[in-house]
Amino acid sequence: LLVDNGSTRLDAAREVRTKLRHYISENDVSDNDITTPVLSLVLNGDITTMRVILSAVKTERSPVVLLTETGGAAGLLYEYMSAGVDAEGREHFLQQLKARGGPWADEPDVPSLLREIIAHNFVRRADGSEKHLLSFVKLADLEGDDLEGLMREALLCGCRSQQDELMLAVSWGDRDVLSQLLQNEAEWGRAQGEAVIAKRLGKGLALESALNSLDETVVSCLIDFAAEAAYVRPAMLFDRSKIKYDKRSMHAHLWATKAEAVEMEASFTRARDTRALLPADRMSKPSQKWMKILSALVDGYDYHLNVRASKPKDVKPTWTDLMMWAVLIGETSLAHTLWRKSRMPLRAACLASQTCSHLSKDPRNAPDADELAESAAMYEQWALDLLDAMPEDQAHALLVLVRCVAKGEETGAARQPLWGSSAFDSATEDNGKLSVACKELVSHKHAISLAECYFCGDYFGSKARIAEEATWLAIFVQVFLPFLPGTVCEVFPSSWPTKSKRRLARTSRNTRKSGPTLSEAEGEKSTIGEDEEPEDWAVRFKARKEFLQQVADHESDTKDALEDVAHDLRSGRVLYFYAIPKVKFLIHQIFYLCYILLLPYILVTQSAPSEVEWALPDSIMRLETVYWAWSAALFIGELEQLYSLIPADNGYGGCGSRLREGVDLYLSDAWNVGDLAANTLIALTVALRLAATDDTAAQTWARATYAIVIVLQWLRLLQSLRISKSVGVLSIVLGRMITKDIFPFFILFLIVSPAFGLALCVLDPSALRGEPDQLEPTQATVFRYLDSSFWQPWFALTAGFDMDGYIEAPKGIVAIEWLMPLLALLYELFAIVVVLNLLIAAMGATFAELDEKAKVEWQYERVQLIREYKDQKMFPAPLNVLHLLWRLLAALFRFILGRPPPVAHQHGFQMQVSQAEELFLQAQELEALKQCALKHESNKHESEIQSRIEGRIEQMMRLVESKFEKLANANRAALLSPSPRPFVPPRRHRVSPELPPDLVGAASVASLNGAAVNMRVQL
């Protein structure tokens, strides 16, 4: 930087440089919340350099690195320092310097400068530590990057506080330096002193800086040294410049711009001393837009954040919040690092997968759809790996667990769910919006066994269950033998309380061995907020404390086993047998089979035509009214199902929007659309039967609609048969073939067949004539009667053409007798031979492709079926009408008497347990997370090794190819040479210096003209 301010003084430029340096250091021009350090590097130097060094250590308190071998001021200071540690030795050196003569002896200020520089060599920080500002370096002693390391150490010495050191190391991204600075701080422990809080706040600020720079290595290091998510300001992370995908789909208007970030930063305390950075200043009223972003883009976060916001304390970010931020900006490696710290890793992995799947289906993200789909599959695989690391009973509990928090600060306050559903509920729900099904997770072995437990009635809150080995025949017989309970199909109590007690007993034994005693646990004060994500040791400690308080209760429960058996006999479990989902499913199918058989029985046996051939009888049949009433009961059941799909009022949107969302969700199921079509046709038939009994045409249409209804109702059985794996997989593959292969073929068929049909009609005038004694337009005849030439191509796929008619009819007509059969033959070759065989081949390829995927789809639809029969279908039609009337009367009596409504039935796959067992399950989930993280690290290491091996092989292949190319060029030049050289016998050459020294294997090639080349290649 050249400076000319008109001054003739020699130190004018140095003054400008000093002012500029001060400005850069004091004003944080890099805008990264890091104080810019100053370092002076001294090579040789004169008396002016001595004054600059004094200014650096005395005024600026900045470090100085001196290269002693360069002589001058650097060498003089080193000699003065080496003269002795006491004042007498150094004074003796000054006397020798003056006696020695030279340029330094002529400078009267040298002794005072040396004394003052050494006097200010030490700097004491606010935390009490001392640092040396002068560093002497000998170039001969340095190796590799030692000079860079020494300069970094000097820069750290010049920092004014440990917080500045930490932030500077974060900006460098140096894990080794961070480890040195944060040693002995791997756990913040239970201390709550001012110094500890200052360190926690400082590490939170450093973590925020590392996250903003997207440095996964530094973030991982800070996490290892107990940096906490609660001290990160998420408003500073949701920067609009970090949006990777389409801004409209990401709600970019909620993300902070650069100016907004600067304004928010100014609202926080900017104290340099971390002791002045109090929690109230650090977390005081930050921008809450980040909460709106997560609520708008992540399924279930609106409910989750509303519960956290209802707490008296401010909402502090969690590791799961930060992970969702990393997912939204597309940083998968950073998301994995943050996921390893999540206190709810199973749910976090599911949410990340659902978020990426939702974004990939947005048309605005079409360019990034493949990347988002891959990320969704990767996040779902994390959840699968986590389940693999758990035993079955623990996986079952974590899949359906809904974590709760206390509503108030007082002891014993009621607890409310922190999430609106369990992880398994969220994975099985697909509402077409934020919630996208995680079908791979649903098809995991633990999820499959969990669904089977629910199907047999073995779930949290169930009154009765049956064995998973119970056959359909045994259940069918037992349904009709209520007066002989348990004779064919045994009924048991739910095993979930037993599993809970077994986990409690196992934890009690482990706690007695390794945990604190009850008195020790009562003596400790835990400061863990239930909506926060504490450290691993805190979860384990609090879980021990809660479980120790329940040990005595558990032991007393085991003593009353005989009383429990007597209670089971008096509990009326036989009646609850009919509430088991598997039993309800069978009962519903029995009633539905009777229902769909009723209409064919009526039409075949009681509606035989008498006088009018095709119309139904004029009078309404008695069984027909029974069928109508049964259909109305089924329609009421569909309305109840629609009502159950309407989301609850959560403060977002009005009644109309929630109703529209429920209708959309209902119509997203193809089976519901089929039910709606069947009910509509039945209503139309009832109107025709009642309003136009004397109208023959209307009664004929009524018979036709009845026929379509029969087809739709019998096809509905396919969904029920999907409870079986063999039938379910085949039906799913069939559905995919219809949409993927048959539908495109049908579109092609709709274009080709009318073309040939119309051409044949034009060539066959007889098709334009109507039937004898019928007055009708000739143009309608072509399309009305199926035996016309227009419809021949449509049926030729199965029956073929009537070629004799096409050959005999136009004989003698030269223009047509060849063209008409030729068109029919051409259509058969194109449609039957080519297109139909292509369809068969495509269907075969689809079957091979979807065979494995269909198993996943089948398991997902089976879980949906189990949920439906667990929560929605209580009584089969028409008994559901009696149940509905009973509920309406009970609600009326409660309204009259002013009684509160009963506790709602827990829908879906959910479980709410005591805080003790919840903490235990969380601790076990964290242990599984550690195993999962180790597995991922091992896989990453193996992948890196494989990548290096492949890179080495590719490098060697390129080297071998270049050598062979050179050899071929040399041979070609020798063959084309006009004056060939005399033949030289082959001789061994040394290895080419271009090849690496560790190459093994050898190959020798000699040219025709004697040019010999020896080459060694790695195999």
By the 8 A CB rule, do 240 and 196 touch? no
Name residue, tokens 């439906």: 868
Question: Which distant-in-sequence residues (6+ apart) come within 8 Å of 799 by Cβ?
Answer: none
Predicted confidence at residue 585, as pLDDT, reads 92
Predicted confidence at residue 553, as pLDDT, reads 45
Tell me how crowded residue 780 is: count the other CB atoms within 10 A of its CB: 10
Mean pLDDT per 10-residue interval, the chain, length 1019 residues: 68 78 78 76 88 85 87 87 76 80 80 86 70 82 75 80 81 81 62 69 86 89 86 85 81 74 57 39 56 89 86 78 93 93 92 92 89 94 93 90 75 75 90 84 92 90 87 90 77 71 49 38 39 51 49 43 50 78 92 93 72 72 91 91 77 71 84 91 91 80 91 90 85 83 83 83 67 51 68 74 68 74 81 80 81 83 89 84 87 84 74 84 88 88 88 90 88 74 51 42 34 34
Threshold 0.85, pTM exceeds: no
Burial class (CB in 10 A: 0-12, 13-18, 19+), 47: middle
Predicted confidence at residue 264, as pLDDT, reads 62
Predicted confidence at residue 185, as pLDDT, reads 66
Name residue, tokens 């992540």: 298
φ, ψ of residue 65 to 5 degrees: the values are: -110, 125
3 state SS for 467-532: CCCCCHHHHHHHHCCCCCCCCCCCEECCCHHHHHHHHHHHHHHHHHHHCCCHHHHHHCCCCCCCCC
Question: Which distant-in-sequence residues (6+ apart) come within 8 Å of 547 by Cβ?
Answer: 504, 507, 508, 511, 916, 920
* Pairing mode of beta strands 404-406, 40-43: unpaired
**Structure tokens, 841:** 């081949």
Question: Which distant-in-sequence residues (6+ apart) come within 8 Å of 549 by Cβ?
Answer: 518, 916
What's the rounded Cα separation, in Å, for the pair 818 and 305?
Answer: 78
Biggest CA–CA distance in the chain, Å, is 145
What's the rounded Cα separation, in Å, for the pair 1005 and 1007?
Answer: 7
- Angstrom CA distances, 410 to 522, 601, 855, stand at 18, 67, 50
Predicted confidence at residue 1016, as pLDDT, reads 35
Size of the chain, expressed as the number of residues it contains: 1019
Name residue, tokens 């227009």: 790
**Structure tokens, 725:** 């794996």
By the 8 A CB rule, do 137 and 18 touch? no
